[in-house]
A = this chain, B = another copy of it.
Amino acid sequence: MNKQDKILIVGAGLCGSLLALRLAQRGYKVAVYESRPDLRTTDISAGRSINLALSDRGFKALRLVGVEENARKICIPMYGRLIHDVEGNTFASNYSGREGEYINSISRGDLNGMLLTEAEKHENVTLHFNTKCTSIDIENTSASFQDYKTKKTFTVEADVIFGTDGAGSVLRKSYYLEKKFLFSYSQEYLTHGYKELEIPADSNGKHQLSKDHLHIWPRGGYMLIALPNMDGSFTVTLFLGHEEGVYNFKELNTEEKIKNFFKEQFPDALALIPNIAKEFANNPTGALGTVKCLPWYYKSNTLILGDAAHAVVPFYGQGMNASFEDVTVLDEVLNECEGDWSVVFKSYQEKRKQNADAIGDLAVENYYEMRDHVANPLFQQKRKIEMDLEKHFPKEYFSKYAMVTFNEEIGYHEAMLKGRAQDKALLNLLADKDISTAINMTKEQLELVLKKVQEETNTILEEDKVADLR
């Protein structure tokens, strides 16, 4: 490989545009093809503002390419969850007991546009919109496209093809269908789907709920969440069973049923959403799936990254962050062994696969936590103690959430193993009343709790290790 290699990137979403920018910075010739129109000049989302949670793993990648500060300017910090009960009472639960640890609501379109604009500043980058990839020949490293406007089809040959074409990846599909190697593949859907709604800004353009929080209305079998936008609105998402449960998307098929459902379950949110029934009927119901697969690469020819390799459900707010981290890790591997793409791809996959699997599993777990556990007394006690521990022992204690979200130097897999053991330790110590849950513990009392939690966590990890069959 040399810097004159012609690199083709399929998909100019968040991952693809960041990858294009980074490879351009490294001196490669990069051509990017995207099926959709240029989102900087077209209003794709038809009036709806889609936001995502950006956190430290994402920032690390943005820092690498030099756009962190610009991205922070369009971020709205969310310091914790604000839980809404059915009576409309709210209670806050911080994401961290440490100062400066929070997540950020950011517009997908604005961030994507920023990355495209940065990439385009490099003369070794070309961007092609409205060109749908129809198939990829992984043996000959060529991709076929159709131009949406002219309907013409054409083929692009490259030295290397990166598939950053999302959960429905054409490149991944060709791995599956061409059967050139044993391809382990899984797509797992939750029984729940989602629908986006909007709480508009008030007449002064201000937010109608606290903009410092991610709002959650947990109801066990379903839940509503809301993230703030810069224009004063909130993007609201309902997570609900497709066909299961007393209430489900299939059954909510009349204006009356929709209104009654919200009136009964989310009255305070209903008051802020105009024309709920119309929005509900007009907006699509999306599926929630996890994709895992292996291998990610073929020879020195192709590699999939981001959602194409590991789509996750949205409940840890890590989908974009994980995709951005892919670029960070690929860049580290290039620092180590640039020169032969097949060596780079193999090393990248070895470093990354276990962590990608872990965030997929963590995201599914967090669905149950958000839906059920944030309203569970034992869980609430656990979170309260964790906040105290993080506040008083900021260098000793990190919750699972903190390890996943704010500790970009720990891999997702390590965060998962350690975080699960720690959660198990805490929940069992609380259930057995082995640690105090007094309201105002002294630092000495808290130190005792910390010691117990650390000991129990280590015991759990040690016992798992002894019993591990691998």
Contact = CB atoms under 8 A, between A and B. Distances in A.
A96 to B, nearest CB: 20
A424 B463 contact: yes
B373 A428 contact: no
Contacts of A185: 185-187
B368 A470 contact: yes
B469 A368 contact: yes
A188 interface: yes
A469 B361 CA distance: 12
Interface string A429-442: 00100000000000
Interface residues of A, number: 30
Contact of A184 (B187, B365, B368): B187
Interface in A144-184: 182-184
Interface of A: 182-189, 242, 287, 289, 292, 365, 368-369, 372-373, 378, 420, 423-424, 427-428, 431, 463-464, 466-467, 469-470
A382 to B, nearest CB: 10
The number of times this chain is found in the oligomer is: 2
A182 B469 contact: no
A287 B466 contact: no
Contacts of A420: 467
Contacts of A184: 186-189, 289
Contacts of A470: 368
B373 A469 contact: yes
B467 A423 contact: yes
Given A185-B186, A424-B463, 19 more contacts: A182-B189, A182-B242, A182-B289, A183-B189, A184-B187, A184-B188, A184-B189, A184-B289, A186-B187, A186-B188, A365-B469, A372-B469, A373-B469, A420-B467, A423-B467, A424-B464, A424-B467, A428-B463, A428-B466
Contact of A182 (B186, B287, B424, B427): B287
A438 B464 CA distance: 25
Which 8 residue pairs across A and B have the least CB separation, nearest first?
A: A186-B186, A424-B467, A182-B189, A368-B469, A184-B188, A431-B466, A427-B467, A184-B189
